[in-house]
Structures are given as structure tokens and as C-alpha cells.
Amino acid sequence: MHAFRGASTARVSVHIGPTCLTVTTPIVGPEYIGLGSRITQQMTESQWTRKVSGDSSDGLGFSAQRQSMIGLTFGWSLLEGQERLNIYYMRTSPGGGMGRKARATLEKALGVHAKALPKNHHATTSVPVGPELSQAPARTQGGHGSYEARWQQRRQAVRQLLGYMRVWSLLICVDLASSMAETHKNQIYITTEELTSHNKTGDLWISIQGKVYNVSDWVHHHPGGEAPLRSLAGQDVTNAFLAYHPGTAWSYLDKFFVCHLSDYKTSQVSNDYRRLVSEFTKMGLFERNGFGFFLSLLSISILLLINVLGVLWSSSVWVHMICGGLMGIVWTQSGWLGHDSGHYKLIKNPRMNRFMQVLTGNCLSGVSIAWWKWNHNAHHIACNSLEFDPDVQHMPFFAVSSRLFNSLTSYFYEREMKFGSVDRFLVSYQHLTFYPVMCFARINLFAQSVLLLVSKRKVLNRGQELFGLLVFWTWYPLVVSWLPNWGERIMFVVLSFAITGIQHVQFCLNHFSSSVYVGQPNGSNWFEKQTEGTLNITCASWMDWFHGGLQFQIEHHLFPRLPRCHLRKISPLVKSLCKKHGLPYTSVSFWEANALTFGTLRTAALQARDLANPVPKNLLWEAVNTHG
């Protein structure tokens, strides 16, 4: 118990509960009268009723940018010579109770030190007040009767004052209610249909949680690239925003605010999905990476060292061939780390995390992390859209659906995907050429990386990206040059590409045999499209290193910021949610996934051979082709 003891034993009692703060002061002198109103005034001046800002605590951004205000209701009572001020408040933090800023406000109002205030939100204690409030009036010489008479007058004055306060507080409440109603009346609203008209470059609007934002000028500065915003232009993007942004991102939205949606509503699927995001955030899963990153980096370093030593110190052809295969594993495992670093922070320090991106992507794998983000972010947002997802746009080599025979437009590459005679010929045998092409698919990634970095397209940290590729194209040719002859050099390179080709097959297994669609992705059914267009690979936990997180591709697409070490843990929850809403949750073995992919490619190949009718008109045939 802390108390300031002056000429009297007067003290202020403070009770801090989960929803109510009670300040009780003894009526021992005129200095105490109105203490409640003075505290109230200071708390109001300190903006207790303000918007909450800061980091997100529940994954939905409610704490970061919640639109509700901290509500205060004041009540005074006079009981046994004590004036009691009750302040009922509502905190938006999950734990409730009084936060640091509210505690500081109370401290200022009472003129006390923080140590005198209770640390336990539910505790009751006594705190000192300033000396000017702690002194009881001195006894006069007028005798006992005159003393009692004066106190009766003071108590009567207090009752009268409290009556005025009650009326005053009621008027304030009425005024606040009127102001809120007027504010609500003056707010600008548009319909979802009106929002869809703002879906083009120069006029690009989106909505999040029923609030509309104009990002027309900012789309070129979006850290995730322009493609995600263009793909979902003119739509509600709440689910996608939650999936790809930490809570801190909510604080940037206000400057783009335009108006509200008058007909904003959410489906039960979306509500359940957002609840999962909130739960995972509270559990801290998005922030905990575990030690897998360091183990992977250590294994890559050891494999690379063995590779170099094997090339330098051994003259055996077989050792050199094994080293070529190990090089493919180095590329693959570096690719998984690059994939991880592009989705979430491997290291909390931003500069170190950026260093890891360039190291694992550019320096060790030869793939620009900038190109990967540009391509991969578009793929995640528009999963299996034939017009918006670059990961299903592989003409002229592959066509996962006969709908591509219609020469669709690629909104990612900004060109028409023409289906000509050469395309028809190559697609007709795509199921036979699939694995040979995958053996050398890394060449395409090398080329795409260079083309992006030398293009006029805006690329963040272009110099770092180019330097990283320069490092790769210095050390890898140098290792190859140490081999004794051209035959072994060619075998070394072929094996490097062939082994890492397994990773490229894995990229295809997750999506090629799943449902595809034509057109712009729909933000309102974003969750459904992610599950319908994705396939999981069933495997034992000790094989997780081999698949790099893609074995839980459904979970990864729904929670891309979640470190892969947690994907197996959340899998039952995602599966249960899909079952609840009748959505597909497909998980097959690695070999079954290969068979499904082969079947999808073969179906489209047979359709491409039909010269008389290249575009299918039989709906049943098209359905079989689309779903593999």
C-alpha cells in the first residue's frame, strides 16, 4: 500500500479492473470537491477517446487500425463521505485492462509516480495525491456544533455539485451520440458494383474491411509488385491483404482512404479463415522460424564444400559426377531458402534478411530474388487463373487446359498467348517432353532473371540483384573449369541441371492437375480458389527437407507468411475448415501427383492433335481436361 501522509490520513483509492477504473476520494476538504471532474477533464484532454495505432495483435489488424474508439462512461456517487468516480472503459487489446498510455494518463491526473500505481490490472491499492489535496481542513475553535454545521453545508454542496455533474455527463453523452450520428450521416458510401468500375491503371481502387482505398498512384511503389494489385483491382482484397501483410501494414492505409462500402459483407468461409489468421498470430507462429533455417544453411555450406573439394582433389570420373549431382542439391536447397526469405523474414534484422535473400537466391542459385518475387507474388494472388497466373502460362511448351488454345491474353506478361502451328505441335507431345524439359528448366529461370534486370521495368535494388548474379556466374563456371576435360564438364553441368529439375517438377505437381479458370481472380472467393487450385503431397515428416514446404502447398497458399516449420502443425486445422465448408483438400503421394500431372498433360495433348476442332465444344471433355 502506498499513501502520501500529510497532516491527515487522507488518501485516494484506485481500483483498476478489466473494464472499469474506480477512483475513490474522501470528502475531507473543499480541495477534494470536483476531483472526479478534474480527472475526467485531464483524461479527455489526453485523448483517451482516440484511434488505436501500433502493431497488430490479432492478425486481423483490429488493434492496429480498429475503427472503434476507446469508450469511456463516467459516473459519480457520494457514499459515506466519499466521492467516487467510476470510469468504465473498453480496451481493444486482447487482454483487456489498462495499457501503459492509459496508466500514464491516470498518473498525470492524480499527480503520482508510476510505482505507486498497481501493476496488476485487477488489484486495488491506495495512491498518494498531491500535497494540496492531502491536507484536511484545520479544526476551528467554534466548537463541535459549528464544525458539524460546516460539514453539513459542504456535503450539501457536494450533493448539489454531483447533481450538476450527472446532468452535465448526460448532456455530453447526448452530444457525443448526436455527433457520431452526424459523422455517420456525412460519410461517403459506394456500392460493390461501383467499386468494380475502378479496376484499371490510373483508376485502381480496392477495399479492405469495408473501407475503400485509392491506390492508383501507389501501385508502382507496392513492395509486392504491381501484378497483385492489378489482379484484384476493383474488388475486396481483405483476405489477400491478411495473408500477405503483417499487422504493421494497416497503419499505411489511412492515406489512401476514399470512402466506405455500403453493401460490404463477408462469407462464413472468410470469417473462419480470418479467425484462423487471428489464432495463429496470437500463438506467435508468424514470428517463430525455429532452427530449420540455420540447419539448411549449414547443410548447403557443407555440400558446397564437399563439391569443391571433390572437383579439386579427386581425379575420379564417378566422384566428379556425384559432385555434379550434389551441385543440383545445393541449388535446390538454396532455392527453398530463397523461397522462404521472399515470403517472410528468416532473420529479424532487415539488412541481414535482405542479404540472405540475395545470397540464397542470386549468389547460390543464379535466380534473381526480384524476378522471383515479381513472378511468385502474381502466382499466389491469381492461383491457376489461365490469364493472370504466370505459373500456368508455359506456351508453347505446355498447356494445362484446352482453353489456352483460344489464344488467351496473359495479363502478367502483357501479351497474347497465341496458339499457332508450332504451339500445337509442341503441346501435342507435351506429356512425353515434360520430364526432359524439366531437366533444363533452370535455364529459363536464368534467362528470365537477366531479362528482368536489364529491362526498363522498375526493380528494387537492381545493383544488388546484378551483383548477386555476377557472383553466381563467377563461382559456378570456375568450379566447372577445374574439371580435367570437356566430357566431364558437360556431364557435371547436365547432372547439376537434371537433379535440380526435380524441384521444377515439384513446382508443377502442386498446380498442373488442379482446377483452372479463365478471368480475373475474385477477392470474395479467394480462399476457395486457393484450395481448389492447389495440391498437397503426402509424405513422412523426415522428408520435409526434400519438398521444402511445398508438400503443404494448400497451407502455404493460405498462409504464405507462415514459416514452413509450422505447416505440418496447422494442417489438421486447415483440413477441418475445408471439410466444414465442402471445399477440396487434396493430398496424394509424390508418385500419384506425378501420375495426375502426366494425365492432365496427356489429355490436353490429345485435344491439341484434333486439327479439325482445336477448341473443345464438348463440355464433359472440357471438364475432364480442366480437372485432370
Cα pseudo-dihedral 87, 92, 97, 102, rounded to 10: -60
Buried b (16+ CB within 10 A) or exposed e, 574-598: beebbeeeebbbbbbebebbbebbb
**Dihedral sign for Cα atoms in the order 611, 615, 616, 622:** positive
Cell of 84: 467516487
Residue matched to cell numbers 489461365: 386
With a cut of 70, list the residues of the chain below it in pLDDT: 1-186, 611-628
Q: What pLDDT does 426 receive?
A: 93
- 16 forms beta bridges with 21
Q: Is 140 left (phi over 0), alpha (psi -120 to 50) or beta?
A: beta
Give residue 596's Cα distance to chain centre.
32
In 201-320, the DSSP E strands lie at 203-208, 211-214, 257-261
Q: What is the DSSP string of 455-497?
A: SSS--TTHHHHHHHHHHHHHHHHHHHHTSSSHHHHHHHHHHHH
- What ranges in 187-289 are assigned the alpha helix state H? 192-196, 226-231, 238-244, 268-282
Q: What is the CA radius of gyration of the chain?
A: 33
Q: What pLDDT does 59 receive?
A: 31
List, in order, residues 6 or more apart from 198 with CB less than 8 Å away.
204, 205, 214, 233, 234
Q: Count CB-CB contacts under 10 A for residue 436.
A: 11
Residue matched to cell numbers 456500392: 191
List, in order, residues 6 or more apart from 365 with CB less than 8 Å away.
331, 334, 335, 338, 472
CA distances from 298 to 183, 287, 294 (A): 59, 22, 6
**Dihedral sign for Cα atoms in the order 369, 598, 413, 234:** negative
CA–CA gap between residue 230 and residue 216 (Å, rounded): 10
Q: What pLDDT does 125 receive?
A: 34
Contact 170, 41 (CB under 8 A): no
Cis peptide before 396 (omega within 30 of 0): yes
Residue matched to cell numbers 473462419: 272
Percentage helix, strand, coil, to 5, in the chain?
A: 55, 10, 35
CA–CA gap between residue 89 and residue 97 (Å, rounded): 9
Q: Is 47 left (phi over 0), alpha (psi -120 to 50) or beta?
A: left
List, in order, residues 6 or more apart from 375 with CB less than 8 Å away.
390, 391, 412, 448
CA–CA gap between residue 509 and residue 501 (Å, rounded): 13
The reply to whether the predicted model has a pTM over 0.75 is no
Helix orientation angle between 430-439 and 486-509, rounded to the nearest 10 degrees? 120
CA distances from 376 to 38, 355, 357, 392 (A): 58, 19, 14, 12
Q: What pLDDT does 168 receive?
A: 54
SS (H, E, C) 425-451: HHHHCHHHHHHHHHHCCHHHHHHHHHH
Q: What pLDDT does 348 receive?
A: 81
What counts of helices (H) and strands (E) characterise the chain? 25, 14
CB-count exposure of residue 527 (10 Å: 0-12, 13-18, 19+): buried
- Strands 199-200, 189-190: parallel, antiparallel or unpaired by DSSP? unpaired
Cell of 592: 500419384
Q: What pLDDT does 570 receive?
A: 93
Contact 538, 588 (CB under 8 A): yes
> Which own/partner contact pairs does 94-97 have at CB distance under 8 Å and 24+ positions apart?
94/57, 94/58, 94/63, 94/282, 96/18, 96/19, 96/121, 97/16, 97/18, 97/121, 97/122
CB-count exposure of residue 316 (10 Å: 0-12, 13-18, 19+): exposed
Q: Is 27 helix (H, G, I), strand (E, B) or coil?
A: coil
Helix (H) or strand (E) holding 87: strand 82-89
- Domain extents in the chain: 12-185, 192-265, 292-626
Yes or no: domain 192-265 corresponds to CATH 3.10.120.10: yes
Residue (of 230, 189, 235, 190) closest to 208 by Cα position: 235
List, in order, residues 6 or more apart from 508 with CB less than 8 Å away.
434, 438, 597
Q: What pLDDT does 40 receive?
A: 46
CB-count exposure of residue 85 (10 Å: 0-12, 13-18, 19+): buried
Q: What pLDDT does 263 receive?
A: 87
Model confidence pLDDT, tens digit, residues 151-184: 566 666 656 555 555 555 555 555 555 555 555 5
